Amino acid sequence: MTLLLVGCTFDAGLAWAEITDGQLRAAYEPGEARDLGYATLTADGEEIVVDSMTLAAGTLILQDLSGGGSFDPAYPPEGYSLCHNGHCHAADGSLPSYAEVAAATGGATLTDLVSWPIDAELDLLAGEQIALQGAELPEAFIGQVQLTASAFYVTGESSEGPFDLEVALTSITAGAELDTYWAPPTFAIDITLERDGTVFDDMNVKDPQSEQLLEAVLSTNLTLEVLE
């Protein structure tokens, strides 16, 4: 299914570049080493049959990251422990993105530039695509793509029997490096939300609140590509 969604932007009259159009694609791609055709192979050799996989998406947002505040994930700042796969473990139990950690600890600022209301359950097995309407951009550095989401749903069957998972979320984020100063005056964008077969590694499909499952979902690959 393809829908056309209108983007909301900053104040008119300050345009530096223009997104002419774009698309958001959501897909489950197990990967050649994991795809058995009828099931997904885990790192432990278990076969997981996936019947459905959907994401309850809210709003897609391009965010400006300004003011510096970079840090080395190998040496997390105070208040954070392990940093990997684009997010850190905070002392309060949350899993903020690298950009959010930089904004919280190093003086960087995250500002919403453009947003598209998705407000739909995206079917990853169907490879659902949603068309995005064009939008104007100011001179800015797009440092993060954020897709707000309330839940990730997966149904299927493992060696322990059928499972029906619902993972509560707030958003899925990914770092980006798009400086509109150097970008073409007009361009299209392709944003892909892709989850591979490793989502089922080292997790208990009977426990939807497990930290391993939440981390696996948050590590879903979200990419932004500029199409000239």
pLDDT in tens, 180-199: 888 899 999 999 999 999 88
- In this predicted structure, the answer to whether residue 158 has a pLDDT above a threshold of 70 is yes
* Predicted local distance difference test score (pLDDT) of residue 84: 82
Instruction: Work out the average pLDDT over 198-227.
Output: 74
**Looking at per-residue confidence, does 147 or 81 come out higher?**
147
pLDDT in tens, 202-214: 666 666 555 667 7
- Selection from 73, 10, 23, 17 nearest residue 224 by Cα: 23
- In this predicted structure, the answer to whether residue 11 has a pLDDT above a threshold of 80 is no
Instruction: Work out the average pLDDT over 164-175.
Output: 87
* Predicted local distance difference test score (pLDDT) of residue 208: 56
Name every residue whose Cβ is closer than 8 Å to that of residue 92 and which is 6 or more positions away in sequence: none
Angle at 153 between CA 199 and CA 98, to 5 degrees: 55
- In this predicted structure, the answer to whether residue 216 has a pLDDT above a threshold of 50 is yes
**Looking at per-residue confidence, does 225 or 93 come out higher?**
225
Name every residue whose Cβ is closer than 8 Å to that of residue 58 and which is 6 or more positions away in sequence: 117, 118, 119, 147, 148, 149, 150, 171
Strand partners, 181: none
Instruction: Work out the average pLDDT over 57-80.
Output: 87
d(CA 76, CA 69): 13
**What are the backbone dihedrals phi and psi of residue 160, each rounded to the nearest 5 degrees, phi first?**
-90, 0
For residues 20 and 133, the answer to whether their CB atoms sit within 8 Å is: no
* Predicted local distance difference test score (pLDDT) of residue 3: 41
pLDDT category at 55 given cuts 50, 70, 90 is very high
User: What residue type is 68 in one-letter code?
Assistant: G
pLDDT category at 220 given cuts 50, 70, 90 is confident
* Strands (E) located in 2-138: 4-5, 17-28, 40-41, 47-66, 80-84, 87-90, 109-123, 129-137
Q: What is the mean pLDDT of the chain?
A: 85
Domain residue limits, the chain: 4-67+108-227
- Selection from 111, 122, 129, 113 nearest residue 7 by Cα: 113
* Predicted local distance difference test score (pLDDT) of residue 6: 46
